[in-house]
Amino acid sequence: MANTPTTDALALRDMASSFDAQRGKLPVLGDAHRSPEPTAVCRLIAELGELITQLSDEVLARVTAPDRAPHSDQVITAFASAVEPAGEAVTALGAVNHQLAFLAQTEPSHDHPWVREARESAVHVIEDALATANNALHDAATWLHAAATTHSPPSVRLRAALSRPHTAASTTPPPASTTKAASTTAGPPASVRSR
């Protein structure tokens, strides 16, 4: 099936929404319902791996298409550009899992001063890594949304507005009676009000 600007815009938008959804699943430090937990982080990494595969498949399908459409190069660039931030998010979540494993390993000896310092440091690393993942997923989604907008055909409302004939009514001044009524109801002149 040949890719059209409309189908490409839909594919870009769907992929952008997938990255938005993954961003919404990111753990949040201090949130009892979304606290970082190894199983959830592993699941996120796996899902992002699937999205990276889908991005690569989208690029491959267009690069190898025998009848590549003129707009395909821009779409290929959009899908390819999202791979890097997606990879950054996976790397950041890998760091989160590493630190979570360290925290679990050191839990029995958390009262020792050097362990306490190392655990505090691990929490800061988790915080930074989650922020990195959030920003990376935001970048990927933003680029894909922007590319989808570029390739979306004009909306029905916009096409209707563009096809309407221009009327002279918008350029003619209002009737004198309307102007006079407006001036009498607008209140006293500034010089009177300031007294």
Q: Distance of CA 114 to CAs 102, 104, 111, 119, Å?
A: 14, 16, 9, 9
The answer to whether residue 163 is domain-embedded is no
pLDDT in the model for residue 171: 44
Are the beta carbons of 148 and 18 closer than 8 angstroms?
A: no
CA distance 4 to 84: 25
pLDDT tens-place string over residues 78-109: 999 999 999 999 999 999 999 999 999 999 98
The answer to whether residue 181 is domain-embedded is no
The answer to whether residue 177 is domain-embedded is no
Number of domains, the chain: 1
Give the residue with greater pLDDT, 101 vs 4.
101
The answer to whether residue 91 is domain-embedded is yes
CA atoms within 13 A on the CB side of 98: 13
Does the CA dihedral 6-11-17-20 come out positive or negative? Answer: negative
Assign 193 a pLDDT band (cuts: 50, 70, 90).
Answer: very low
The answer to whether residue 111 is domain-embedded is yes
The answer to whether residue 90 is domain-embedded is yes
**What DSSP letter does each residue of the chain carry, written as one string?**
----HHHHHHHHHHHHHHHHHHHHT---TT-TTT---HHHHHHHHHHHHHHHHHHHHHHHHHHS-TT--TTHHHHHHHHHHHHHHHHHHHHHHHHHHHHHHHHHHHGGGTTSHHHHHHHHHHHHHHHHHHHHHHHHHHHHHHHHHHHHHHHSPPPHHHHHHHHSPP-GGGGSPPPHHHHHHHHHHS-S-HHHHT-
The answer to whether residue 76 is domain-embedded is yes
pLDDT tens-place string over residues 145-165: 999 998 655 444 444 444 555
**Whether the predicted pLDDT of 122 surpasses 80:** yes
The answer to whether residue 182 is domain-embedded is no
| Host domain of residue 81 | 5-148
